[in-house]
């Protein structure tokens, strides 16, 4: 440890308790801060300290710069790219990006390039074949523009479906055969974590359910301490809550957590700090950046959590070891497992995430390797390059796609990679958990934010120095929501052409074999990832972890039915979100609910009745023109008509509990031994720590 670092440690020890020393619980009714275990900083009177809550809840400042670089803009970036091709204006590209481009390629980069070429070739070939088949069976329309428009929509949507299928297919291969080029937690099992490799565990929160958040955080802290590495980690709760009552509850929960950890038997516990931010700029990304400017220079790494995150100590320590073993790794992202809620909606989502989502995660890992993306939580970040290169400037302009970056995670990963550091998704880092939204309305509330953020990120696709893979991820992130109105336009155009008299045949039994094969191919692409996920479970002999073979198959069928019924609702909602984002309407940024409560009929009617009403009027109009056209709209129209009862039914906790009792929609964490960190989190949530009360 150098002299400068030693002086920082001495400064800290002068004003904070020794690591692992007991922290006395504040007396009930004592003034806030009066019974804290640290005196007021030098030059700050006790009265003055009480007026500034952060002065007694955080370590001494060690400021460092984190300045954003303005974006060049889409058209300016295209001009810059052209000039770079002509051999000029190299100064427009950050120096770190130029150095990264000149760096020798590692072995995994060659493998990744080959895999991406194969991925692209298969995607293009499949799309061309499907589009040619569709063009061959198209009827002759009165306007060639209608014909070409329908064909273009089909080609674009076919390419989107094909890429999802191929990603799942690659994940199936990795699940069975492994991947020698991927970063793996197994490679650092025998490694030791150096004493100077200190990490901060940061949890940004804003108007969350306080008891649930601090219960999960307590379980995480206790799990880290159980590894024997408490000396290497500090925890920071970074609050943006502006409601005084919520802030007071957070402060009380923090005091209770400190007291409970001090009384906890066994090894030394991690230090936990709390900061209530006064200037709440740029939401979560601004909160994390503010932490980096204040204390980032004290830490080599930073583990970022969400308010609903729970992580095992073994997982966190393994991430730090992977960072130590891979000096060019800038971000390491875990494959989080959804668990926690027991509503039918959440249980179906977590089952699908485990069976099919695992394949997609492994597939992305297969072709992205060290050019992966960051999900904004349950990941570890190398602090120094993050501060130097990942500050986020606002996007110039006006409207919904300008201003502060909303979906910061994809952008931070792209900037980290542009600086020459690698971004890895490590699928075998177990012990990383999060919650799914408990109901459909909560999911759509979250998707509203994601939609606007992903569309906004697409404006950065041409920025100089961004790696090609991250440019693709900006596009695919936007396409995840653009695909909804494209599907809607395709269906609407097809219905309009039907009503105009451009029918293939009157009897669906007489459809040409080519069209039957085309629809069969499309359905296979949509459902094969689910089938491959089930096949992988059976081939790995894991069906007992899902309640047995029969329960697994029944669960898969139930999850598929729910996905089919909810898909049209998501399609129409995402189309509406897209219009709202493009119109620049104000986005109300609210955290999703962290606890499950049944959706009331009044809430469901208020939010979904316009959707169901519009569908009913359209169906009535189409029936008056040609009732036979309704046959093609049933798969979309019926779920939309049933959206209200579906949202209410799937939000019911008793129904989810009944299915769990019947061993349906089980995941391994439920059917086998519940991970200790989750067991602790749920126990603490049911019996929150309070000052003066002993908790186990």
Q: Note the pLDDT of residue 588.
A: 60
How confident is the model over 20-60, as pLDDT tens digits? 333 333 333 333 333 333 333 333 334 333 444 555 788 88
Model pLDDT for residues 53-87, shown as the tens digit of each residue: 555 788 888 999 999 989 888 888 777 777 766 66
Helices 408-418 and 440-457 pack at an angle, to 10 degrees, of 40
Distance CA 318, CA 429 (A): 8
Q: Say what the pLDDT of residue 351 is.
A: 93
Distance between CA atoms of 485 and 643, rounded to whole angstroms?
Answer: 18
H helices of 390-512, in order, are 408-418, 440-457, 468-499
Nearest CA among 198, 223, 178 for reference residue 314: 223
Separation between Cα atoms, residue 269 and residue 21, nearest integer Å: 9
3-state secondary structure (DSSP) of residue 335? coil
The two structure tokens encoding residue 16: 């904070």
CB 533 within 8 A of CB 319: no
161: closest CA among 461, 373, 479, 375?
479
Nearest alpha-carbon partner for 405 in 448, 374, 446, 450:
450
Percent of the chain with pLDDT over 70: 79
- Beta-ladder partners of 433: 310, 337
- The torsion defined by the Cα of 160, 164, 165 and 167, in degrees rounded to 10, comes to 140
CA diameter of the chain: 88
Write down the domain spans for the chain. Answer: 45-182+312-376+383-598+651-674
Q: What does pTM read for this prediction?
A: 0.84
CA count, 13 A, side-chain hemisphere, 654: 2
pLDDT above 90 as % of the chain: 39
State the residue for tokens 């898969």.
556
SS3 category, 504: coil
Residue 625 predicted with pLDDT over 80: no
> What is the mean pLDDT of the segment spanning 616-627?
73
Q: What pLDDT, on a 0 to 100 scale, did the predictor assign at position 518?
A: 59
Q: What is the DSSP letter of 39?
A: P
What is residue 592's predicted lDDT score, i.e. its pLDDT?
A: 59
The angle at the Cα of 349, spanning 348 to 352, to the nearest 5 degrees, equals 85
Sheet (strand 271-276) strand order: 271-276, 233-239, 199-205, 301-304, 379-382, 329-334, 422-426
Report which of 199, 273, 192 is spatially closest to residue 231, judged by C-alpha positions.
199
Q: Considering only CA atoms, which of 587, 588, 573 is closest in space to residue 207?
A: 588
The residue ranges of DSSP E strands in 170-226, in sequence order, are 199-205
Q: Please tell me the predicted confidence (pLDDT) of residue 166.
A: 92
For residues 423, 183, 304, 312, the Cα torsion angle rounded to the nearest 10 degrees is 170
Per-residue model confidence as pLDDT tens digits over 240-293: 999 999 999 999 999 999 989 888 777 788 999 999 998 888 889 999 999 999
Q: Average pLDDT, stretch 134-138?
A: 77
d(CA 648, CA 599): 5
Poorest-confidence range of 118-122, 259-263, 316-320?
A: 259-263
Provide the token pair at 33: 């801060």
**Contact at 8 Å (CB) between 343 and 651?**
yes
Q: Alpha-carbon distance 384 to 273, whole Å?
A: 21
Name the CA radius of gyration of the chain, rounded. 27
CA distance 216 to 221: 9
pLDDT digits over 650-671, tens only?
A: 998 899 889 988 999 998 888 6
Distances (CA, A) of 492 to 146, 569, 601: 12, 15, 30
Provide the pairing of β-strand 422-426 with 199-205. unpaired
Alpha carbon dihedral 395, 288, 212, 673, in 10-degree steps, equals 100
Given a cut of 60, is residue 467 above it in pLDDT? yes
> Which pLDDT value is given to residue 90?
57
pLDDT of residue 389 exceeding 90, the answer is: yes
pLDDT at 390 over 50: yes
Residues in contact with 29: Cβ distance below 8 Å, sequence separation at least 6, in sequence order: none
pLDDT band at 143 (very low <50, low <70, confident <90, very high): low
Q: Which residue has the higher pLDDT, 544 or 494?
A: 544
Distances in whole angstroms, Cα of residue 83 to Cα of each of 71, 76, 355, 465: 17, 11, 48, 13
Mean pLDDT of the 521-543 span: 85
Q: What's the confidence (pLDDT) of residue 613?
A: 79
Is pLDDT at 323 greater than 60 in this prediction? Answer: yes
Residues 533, 362: contact at Cβ < 8 Å? no
**3-class secondary-structure state, position 110:** helix
Task: Show Cβ contacts of residue 580 under 8 Å, excluding neighbours closer than 6 positions.
Answer: 400, 448, 452, 587
């Amino acid at each position: 440890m150098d002299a400068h670092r030693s002086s920082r440690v001495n400064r800290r020890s002068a004003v904070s308790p020794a690591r692992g020393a007991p922290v006395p619980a504040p007396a009930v009714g004592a003034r806030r801060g009066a019974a804290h275990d640290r005196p007021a900083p030098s030059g700050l009177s006790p009265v003055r300290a009480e007026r500034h809550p952060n002065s007694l809840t955080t370590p001494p400042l060690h400021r460092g710069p984190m300045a954003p670089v303005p974006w060049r803009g889409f058209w300016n970036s295209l001009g810059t790219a052209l000039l770079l091709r002509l051999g000029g204006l190299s100064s427009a590209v950050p120096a770190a990006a130029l150095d990264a481009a000149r760096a020798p390629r590692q072995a995994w980069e060659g493998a990744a390039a080959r895999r991406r070429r194969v991925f692209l070739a298969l995607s293009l070939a499949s799309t061309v074949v499907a589009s040619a088949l569709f063009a061959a069976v198209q009827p002759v329309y009165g306007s060639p523009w209608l014909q070409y428009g329908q064909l273009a929509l089909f080609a674009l949507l076919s390419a989107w479906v094909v890429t999802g299928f191929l990603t799942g297919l690659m994940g199936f291969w990795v699940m069975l055969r492994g991947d020698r080029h991927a970063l793996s937690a197994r490679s650092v099992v025998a490694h030791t974590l150096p004493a100077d490799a200190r990490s901060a565990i940061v949890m940004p929160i804003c108007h969350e359910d306080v008891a649930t958040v601090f219960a999960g955080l307590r379980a995480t802290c206790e799990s880290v301490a159980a590894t024997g590495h408490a000396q290497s980690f500090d925890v920071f709760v970074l609050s943006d809550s502006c409601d005084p009552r919520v802030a007071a509850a957070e402060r009380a929960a923090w005091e209770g957590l400190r007291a409970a950890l001090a009384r906890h038997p066994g090894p030394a516990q991690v230090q936990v700090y709390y900061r209530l931010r006064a200037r709440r700029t740029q939401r979560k990304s601004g909160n994390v950046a503010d932490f980096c400017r204040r204390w980032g220079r004290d830490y080599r790494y930073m583990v970022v959590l969400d308010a609903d995150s729970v992580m095992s100590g073994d997982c966190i320590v393994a991430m730090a070891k992977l960072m130590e073993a891979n000096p060019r790794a800038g971000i390491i992202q875990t494959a989080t497992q959804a668990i926690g809620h027991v509503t039918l909606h959440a249980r179906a989502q977590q089952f699908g995430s485990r069976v099919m989502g695992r394949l997609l995660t492994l597939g992305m890992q297969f072709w992205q390797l060290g050019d992966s993306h960051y999900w904004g939580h349950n990941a570890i970040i190398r602090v120094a390059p993050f501060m130097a290169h990942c500050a986020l400037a606002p996007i110039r302009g006006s409207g919904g796609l300008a201003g502060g970056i909303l979906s910061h995670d994809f952008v931070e990963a792209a900037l980290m990679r542009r600086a020459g550091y690698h971004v890895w998704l490590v699928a075998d880092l177990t012990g990383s958990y999060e919650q799914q939204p408990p109901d459909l309305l909560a999911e759509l509330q979250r998707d509203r934010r994601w939609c606007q953020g992903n569309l906004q990120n697409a404006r950065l696709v041409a920025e100089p120095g961004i790696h090609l893979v991250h440019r693709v991820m900006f596009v695919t992130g936007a396409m995840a929501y653009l695909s909804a109105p494209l599907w809607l336009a395709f269906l609407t155009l097809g219905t309009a052409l039907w009503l105009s008299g451009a029918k293939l045949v009157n009897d669906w039994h007489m459809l040409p074999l080519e069209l039957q094969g085309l629809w069969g191919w499309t359905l296979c692409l949509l459902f094969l990832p689910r089938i491959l996920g089930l096949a992988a479970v059976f081939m790995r002999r894991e069906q007992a972890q899902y309640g047995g073979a029969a329960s697994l198959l029944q669960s898969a069928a139930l999850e598929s039915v729910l996905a089919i019924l909810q898909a049209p609702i998501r399609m129409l909602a995402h189309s509406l979100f897209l219009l709202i984002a493009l119109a620049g309407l104000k986005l109300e940024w609210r955290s999703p609910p962290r606890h499950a409560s049944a959706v009331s009929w009044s809430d469901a009617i208020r939010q979904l009745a316009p959707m169901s009403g519009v569908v009913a009027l359209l169906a009535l109009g189409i029936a008056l023109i040609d009732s036979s056209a309704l046959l093609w709209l049933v798969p979309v129209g019926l779920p939309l008509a049933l959206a209200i009862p579906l949202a209410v039914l799937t939000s019911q906790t008793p129904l989810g509990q009944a299915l769990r009792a019947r061993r349906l929609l089980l995941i391994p964490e439920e059917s086998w031994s519940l991970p200790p960190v989750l067991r602790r989190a749920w126990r603490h949530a049911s019996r929150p720590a309070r000052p003066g009360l002993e908790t186990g």
